[in-house]
Amino acid sequence: MAKLYRLLTEEDTSAFCHKVSGALAKGWELYGDPSYAFDSANNVMRCAQAVTKEVEADYSPDMKLGQQ
């Protein structure tokens, strides 16, 4: 059994909310508070949210975390 970690990032739009909601629907759990930062190169706000999930498989760096 392994506990997996992902950091979801996106511009501060509904796309970020959909990305997090999709992860939650697949069994990922929120880990900590979301973060916001200004991306001066693209002149937009960016969001980040960490999520974790326990899976039956052993961890491998080759795992496709988004498919778990």
Query: Per the structure, how many domains does the chain have?
Result: 1
**pTM, full prediction:** 0.89
Q: How far apart are the C-alpha atoms of 43 and 62, rounded to whole Å? A: 34
Domain annotation covers residue 63: no
Q: What is the pLDDT of residues 28-48, one digit of tens each?
A: 999 999 999 999 999 999 999
Domain annotation covers residue 30: yes
Which tokens belong to 60? 């491998």
Helix (H, G, I), strand (E, B) or coil at 24: helix
Residue 68 has pLDDT above 90, yes or no: no
Q: How far apart are the C-alpha atoms of 57 and 66, rounded to whole Å? A: 15
Domain annotation covers residue 7: yes
Domain annotation covers residue 67: no
Domain annotation covers residue 11: yes
What is the pLDDT at residue 66?
Answer: 82
Q: What is the pLDDT of residues 4-28, one digit of tens each?
A: 999 999 999 999 999 999 999 999 9
Domain annotation covers residue 64: no
Q: How far is CA 15 from CA 1, 8, 21, 22, 55, in A?
A: 31, 11, 10, 10, 26
Which tokens belong to 18? 């959909």
